[in-house]
């Protein structure tokens, strides 16, 4: 795990850019070694990752990226960063590395810690709920969400976001894949429709066109 404060020197608020405000739920970029950044988000991803990636190891891969805004009262359960489309298939896929970057944390924010467990299951032998019951709370590492902080972890590590008691927590998450997942090779931008049963996520993933994919604003 790597934690870096003052990770970027930006002269703009990333959360106010058109690309951040309008991005679909799941997006993919083949990395700066395959194509230039097409928007502010991909440029930020390049700046954040450039010291941690050997492009020769990821020629056939790239970055999945998404935003997560958690307001007061919100949280996020234990999970790994997987190819969501394949989560309940036998060919369970987990990305290689994951990064959480906090472009904005409101000054009144209380709670919303990133909690990371040592438990790793890259083979997908258990679902997240079963695996969560194996976690010893004494082994959990808690990292405060600080504006302009970056956290890099192994994607197989179980992690969650604790309850946000006050304020709002913004992040830009990205996951590095060694091989582009098939569904991103088919289409780069996806949205999840209304889900009443998470196990039906595959049937609710729909292709979307992102009008602002190519914009530096």
Domain that holds residue 104: 2-207
**Contact call for residues 175 and 63 (beta carbons, < 8 A):** yes
**Contact call for residues 158 and 77 (beta carbons, < 8 A):** no
**Domain of 156: which CATH number?**
2.60.120.10
pLDDT digits (tens, 9 = 90+) for 103-158: 999 999 999 999 998 866 666 555 666 667 777 778 899 999 999 999 999 988 88
Residues in the chain: 217
User: What are the residues facing 157 on neighbouring strands?
Assistant: 120
The predicted model scores a pTM of 0.89
Q: Which of 85, 104, 100 is nearest to 10 (CA)?
A: 104
15 domain residue, yes or no = yes
Task: Provide the number of structural domains found in the chain.
Answer: 1
Residue 92 banded pLDDT, cuts 50, 70, 90: low
Q: Which is it for the CA torsion 187, 52, 118, 161, positive or negative? A: negative
pLDDT reported for residue 69: 95
214 domain residue, yes or no = no
Sequential DSSP letters for 123-156: T--S-HHHHHTT--GGG-EEE---TT-EEEEETT
Q: What are 133's two structure tokens?
A: 């019951």
């Amino acid at each position: 795990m790597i934690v870096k404060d003052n990770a970027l020197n930006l002269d703009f608020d990333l959360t106010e850019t058109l690309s951040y405000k309008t991005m679909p739920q799941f997006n993919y970029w083949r990395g700066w070694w395959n194509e230039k950044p097409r928007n502010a988000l991909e440029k930020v991803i390049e700046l954040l990752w450039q010291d941690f990636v050997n492009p020769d190891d990821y020629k056939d891969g790239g970055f999945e990226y998404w935003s997560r805004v958690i307001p007061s009262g919100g949280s996020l359960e234990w999970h790994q960063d997987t190819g969501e489309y394949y989560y309940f298939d036998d060919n369970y896929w987990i990305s290689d590395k994951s990064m959480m970057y906090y472009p904005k944390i409101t000054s009144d924010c209380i709670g919303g810690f990133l909690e990371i467990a040592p438990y790793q299951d890259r083979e997908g032998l258990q679902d997240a709920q079963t695996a969560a019951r194996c976690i010893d709370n004494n082994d959990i590492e808690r990292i405060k969400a600080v504006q302009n902080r970056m956290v890099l972890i192994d994607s197989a590590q179980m992690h969650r976001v604790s309850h946000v008691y006050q304020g709002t927590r913004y992040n830009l998450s990205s996951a590095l894949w060694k091989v582009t997942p098939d569904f991103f090779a088919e289409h780069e931008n996806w949205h999840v429709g209304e889900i009443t049963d998470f196990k039906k996520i595959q049937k609710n993933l729909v292709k979307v066109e992102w009008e602002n994919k190519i914009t530096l604003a």
